[in-house]
Amino acid sequence: MSLVNSSVEGVLEPILERYLRNPHHLMQILRETQERLGFIPKWAVDYISEALALARTQIQSVIEFYAFFYDSPCGKYRILFSDNVTDRMQGNTALLARMLSRLGLSQGQVSGDGLVSIDTTSCTGMCDQGPALLVNNHAIPRLSSQRVDAICTLIKNQTPLEQWPSAFFSVEDNIRRKDVLLSAELTNGQALQRAIELGPQGMLAEMKTSNFRGRGGAGFTTGVKWEACRNAPGETRYVVCNADEGEPGTFKDRVLLNSYAELLFEGMSIAGFVIGASKGLLYLRAEYRYMLEKLQATLEARRKAQLLGKNILGQKGFDFDIEIHMGAGAYVCGEETALIESLEGKPGRPRIRPPFPATHGYLGQPTVVNNVETLAKATLIAQNGGAWYKGLGTKLSTGTKLLSISGDCDAPGIYEYPFGVRISKILEDCGARNAMAVQVGGAAGTCLARHEFGRKIAFEDVSTSGALMVFGNNRDMFEVARNFTHFFKHESCGFCTPCRVGTTLLCNLLDKIADGKATSYEMNELSRLHQLLKTSSHCGLGQTAWRPVYDTMQKFRPSYDRRLQQKDFEPAFAMDAALAPAREIMERDDADAHLGNEL
Amino acid sequence: MNENTFVIDGTPIPFEPGQSILQAALKADVFIPHLCFFPGLKPNGSCKLCTVVVNGRPGSACTLLARPGIEVENNTPELNDRRRLMLQMLFVEGNHFCPGCEKSGNCQLQALAYELEMMTPHFNHFFPSRKVDASHPEAFLDMNRCIMCGLCVQASRDVDKKNIFAISGRGMASHIVINTPSGRLKESNFSSSDKAANVCPVGAILPKRRGFATPIGQRRYDSLPISTQTEFLTTRKA
């Protein structure tokens, strides 16, 4: 992008002013700088470093940590194909190849004229309508050959993104089954009003009566978390909503943010009222950038309606407002302490726990971090009471659960079920007739084989943050595990040894198996690494990165075995081929210059 | 049992409130392998060599506080197997050639490899391409040997108050960066007397013009195994 009429100050000053030169807003300042300039040049780093009194290295480490920040030009049109296993099943590989060939590019390369670059990225949360891509961080789902060709033409003609057909960017909700949350008809402020009437302690009591557990994956009792935060000593308190929905196969929060944002914001306000916070932060994953303006408009409307701001609903002293903070492409930020680091303008490396965010969270203050679905449901509990909520679901898992269903089924989308629903019932409802396996809970979740379809979705049985990917009879479960393991390698933050090196070693072993050069030796190596990652990794990412491999090795062993050689060991490389450069130097290619078969 | 006592592998260990399991163990002459801990600096908890099992659950001895009555497993074949595996990981992810390294004999990574009887690196070497920065008059930076312990980052920021180093990048691409316009050390106010110059457990930060002052064979870990040097490990300044 040219800088005619736009000096350094001209570009950066308005952005810095908008974020009050607050170093904790570094991620937002960098994002807006990049949206303006296409990448973050060195002069911008120097200027921001000066303006925020931050070390240059801190800015550099943030840029280099997040996948969606670029320190060199990466094309006026930056195309990233979502590469979750569901995108693969929907044919993204062929479409990626088609686009590369049409535009005469190789993957990861920026075109000579600086017009376009094409690469892959982790799951973008469009599994129900994939294959999908991001163009300059805006999602285009439902790719087909025709759509890819049309995109190529738009790029070649240098059509500005705003003039691309709006149909390309339309994302469906695909709600297939509604229960109490998705069919809730609440007037804005109604639940909040009721929480105010109950008072913080009364509302907390309702939460505890409901026995409601967090929907982000860990399943911690929400009322207990809120109470711990409320009682923790601190100058101020924060409510953080984790909308960094990065788990491959999960997209329920996308739908809540798109069509139920009022329920979410109301839930955040209720949490703020209970714990005594005056500020809420919504951490929105970069892949959902397209919803930012709409969400901000919703917040603005709530401010006008006195549902946010000072003396909310006339309640003197109840001040609460919500800010949206965009992520920049890092799955690990779904881990609550990594998310807090990111909110503070740092690379998203998980903190040492304890202390937990409830006592030492954002800026060291007591902080509640809850998932989108958790907060939306807190609104329902405020409205209808804890006893009502407790009556839904099972004894240990009260209420309902949103499931993001994708893969080999007729009706992928969002399904809300009371806890306790069996996998077989879900498969029937979504039209998955030939399912061989389901991956519940995303890449880090559990792989279930057919004989386990009688199991139930519940914290006490199959626990899940909400993803359910269906694999039909013809699918290769080894390739599923390999896709997930490469995802973990890409997303490992690099902080601890077992995860940083271990995820790479896992990938190397799986790639060797895929190449047909592995024996039972590699299978034993996979088992050894699984033990280490599980027990010694710093956070949940490393502690679960072994699961897809482990589960599929146990349950779909033939998909591994048929790739293995029946001998003690096979090297990863071909000896004779490795000698090719030597032959070239010697200018000979006769029989004696080759290794014989005896080797 | 005394109020401020816990147990490691059956041995009672006294502790002062606020001490980590690792600190208390070393003080009591019980060795727990570690790389990213340095006395006087905040525990980093990243190398995971000091992973022990506390009341049945794995955790880092450097970041977990000692508590009365806890039972800690440390020197067990299973934990030492995992430690050996992690050492092998560290050896293959970087470029470590002990015979040609000035740190040999004083290197904590090498000493632990001997201690835990790591006979081979086991995995294929990654042979990464990493930078050497010889621009500074007093020290070399050889990133081939860096193990991402973060000690120089913390020492420079919190002790030297210079904030020269940071860890940048993600995953396997993690690397140390220098807080100067060119990214080279010579433009910084780094000095070989800095704390940051003296905490590196490996040979990634080496002083210039002091090579082989003590012959190999007579260095700290050459004569006595690291596991017998617990007092040094808790009191060292460098």
Per-residue pLDDT of chain A (599 residues; tens, 9 = 90+): 444 446 888 899 999 999 999 999 999 999 999 999 999 999 999 999 999 999 999 999 999 999 999 999 999 999 999 999 999 999 999 999 999 999 999 999 999 999 999 999 999 999 999 999 999 999 999 999 999 999 999 999 999 999 999 999 999 999 999 999 999 999 999 999 999 999 999 999 999 999 999 998 888 999 999 999 999 999 999 999 999 999 999 999 999 999 999 999 999 999 999 999 999 999 999 999 999 999 999 999 999 999 999 999 999 999 999 999 999 999 999 999 999 999 999 999 999 998 999 999 999 999 999 999 999 999 999 999 999 999 999 999 999 999 999 999 999 999 999 999 999 999 999 999 999 999 999 999 999 999 999 999 999 999 999 999 999 999 999 999 999 999 999 999 999 999 999 999 999 999 999 999 999 999 999 999 999 999 999 999 999 999 999 999 999 999 999 999 988 888 888 888 888 999 999 999 988 888 875 54
From the list A65, A66, A538, the residue facing B45 with the nearest CB is: A538
DSSP letter (8 states) at residue B201 = S
Query: At A199, which amino acid appears?
Result: G
d(CA A60, CA A174): 40
> Tell me, what's the pLDDT at B149?
97
> Which member of A347, A491, A528 has the closest CB to residue B85?
A528
Q: What is the CATH number of the domain that holds B90?
A: 3.30.70.20
B178 touches chain A (CB under 8 A): yes
Find the helix or strand (DSSP H, E) in which A72 lies: none
Q: What is the ipTM of this complex?
A: 0.96
Interface test with B, best of A58, A69, A495 (most B CBs within 10 A): A495
B45 and B120: one domain?
A: no
By Cβ distance, the residue of B92, B126, B170 closest to A64 is B170
Distance CA A328, CA A64 (A): 11
* A497 vs B43, B86, B177: nearest CB: B86
A492 CA: distance to closest CA in chain B (Å): 5
Distance from CA of B73 to the nearest CA of A (A): 13
B45, B91: one domain: no
Other C-beta atoms closer than 10 Å to the C-beta of B112 total 25
Domain extent listing, chain A:
8-65, 77-172, 177-390, 400-475, 478-561
Q: Give the fold, CATH level 3, of A400-475.
A: Ubiquitin-like (UB roll) (3.10.20)
CA Rg, chain A, in Å? 25
The residue to which tokens 């990981």 are assigned: B89
Residue A250 per-residue DSSP state: -
Residues B107 and B18 in one domain: no
- What is the DSSP annotation of B124-160? PP------EE--SSSEEEEGGG-----HHHHIIIIIS
Residue B185 CA to residue B180 CA, distance in Å, equals 7
Q: What is the CATH number of the domain that holds B66?
A: 3.10.20.740
Residue A516: C-alpha distances to residues A548, A561, B174 (Å): 20, 10, 31
Give the residue on B whose Cα is nearest the Cα of A330.
Answer: B170
At the top level of CATH, the class of A478-561 is mainly alpha
Considering the domain boundaries, does residue B151 fall inside one? Answer: yes
CA closest to A508 among chain B residues:
B124
DSSP bridge partners of B139? B207
Q: Is B46 on the interface with A (CB under 8 A)?
A: yes
B38 in any annotated domain: yes
Same domain, B60 and B112: no
Tokens of A223: 């009322």
Whether the CB-CB separation of A25 and A14 falls below 8 Å is answered with no
B228 occurs within a structural domain: no
How far is the C-alpha of A529 from the C-alpha of A546, rounded, in Å? 8
List chain A residues with CB under 8 Å of B90. Answer: 497, 501
Please check whether residue A130 is in contact with residue A92, taking contact to mean a CB–CB distance below 8 angstroms.
yes
B27 and B102 part of one domain: no
A537–B46 C-beta distance less than 8 A: no
> Strands (DSSP E) along A450-590, which ranges?
467-472
Half-sphere exposure (CA, 13 Å, Cβ side) for A56? 19
β B205-207/A446-449 pair status: unpaired
Could you give the CA distance from residue B37 to residue B63 in angstroms, rounded to a whole number? 10
**Token pair in block for residue A112:** 């000579």
Whether residue B53 lies inside any domain: the answer is: yes
Residues of chain B with pLDDT below 70 are 1-2
Q: Is residue B232 part of a domain?
A: no
* Cα three-residue angle B146-B151-B156, rounded to 5 degrees: 115
Number of C-beta neighbours around residue A167 at 10 A: 9
Residue B233 lies in a domain: no
Residues B98 and B188 in one domain: yes
Nearest CA in chain B to A63: B169
Cα–Cα distance between A265 and A320 in angstroms, integer? 11
Helix (H) or strand (E) run with residue A448 in it: strand A446-449
The torsion defined by the Cα of B35, B41, B44 and B49, in degrees rounded to 10, comes to 20
Q: Are residues B23 and B92 in the same domain?
A: no
Contact list, A55 vs chain B (CB under 8 Å): 163, 166, 179
Cα separations in angstroms, A206 against A29, A170, A195, A217, A329: 40, 39, 9, 22, 37
For residue A284, what are the β-bridge partners? Answer: A243, A326
Structural domain count, chain B: 2
- Contact between chains at B63 and A495 (C-beta distance less than 8 A): no
> H helices of A372-492, where?
372-384, 386-390, 423-429, 477-491
Is B123 part of any domain?
A: yes
Locate B35 and state its tokens: 């790389």
**CB-CB: which of B90, B171, B178 is closest to A494?**
B171
Q: Phi and psi (nearest 5°) for B205?
A: -120, 115
Q: Which pLDDT value is given to residue A18?
A: 95
Domain boundary among the residues B53, B75, B97 is at B75
Nearest Cα of chain B lies from the Cα of A491 at a distance, in angstroms, of 7
Statement to judge: residues B93 and B194 lie in one domain: yes
Give yes or no for B174 touching A (CB within 8 A): yes
The residues that bridge with A116 in the sheet, in sequence order, are A77
Contact A442, A487 (CB under 8 A): no
Q: What is the CATH number of domain A77-172?
A: 3.40.30.10
* Cβ–Cβ pairs < 8 A, chains A and B: 114
In this structure, which topology does domain A177-390 adopt according to CATH?
Rossmann fold (3.40.50)
Tokens 């040049």 sit on residue:
A41
Contact between B172 and A492 using a beta-carbon 8 Å cutoff: yes
Residue B227 in any domain: the answer is no
Residue B70 carries which side chain, given as an amino acid letter? I
Chain A interface disruption, residue of B170, B174, B202, most A CBs within 10 A: B170
Chain B residues lying within 8 Å of A352, measured CB to CB: 43, 45, 60, 63
Q: How many residues does chain B have?
A: 238
Bridge partners of A456? A422
Contact B170 A492 (CB under 8 A): yes
Based on the number of CB atoms within 10 Å of its own CB, is B117 exposed (0-12), middle (13-18) or buried (19 or more)?
exposed
* Cβ proximity of A441 and A465 under 8 Å: yes
B63 and B178: one domain? no
Domain hosting residue B111, numbered range? 83-220
| Domain co-membership, B16 together with B128 | no
Say whether both B173 and B136 belong to one domain: yes
**A40 and A48 Cβ atoms separated by less than 8 Å:** no
Q: What angle do CA A409, A410, A415 make, to 5 degrees?
A: 80
Tell me: do B112 and B199 sit in the same domain.
yes
Residue of A nearest to B153 (CA): A57
Is there a contact between B171 and A493 if contact means CB atoms under 8 Å apart? Answer: yes
Residue A45 and residue A51: Cα distance in Å, rounded?
10
The SS3 of residue B82 is helix
Distance of residue A510 Cα from the nearest chain B Cα, in angstroms: 14
Q: How far does A568 lie from chain B, in Å, by closest CA?
A: 16
Using a CB-CB cut-off of 8 Å, the residues of chain B touching A493 are: 170-171
Identify the domain boundary among B28, B54, B75: B75
Q: Flag if A497 and B89 touch (Cβ within 8 Å).
A: yes
pTM for the model: 0.95
- How far is the alpha carbon of A149 from chain B, nearest alpha carbon, in Å? 34
**Is B170 buried (19+), middle (13-18) or exposed (0-12) by CB count in 10 A?**
buried
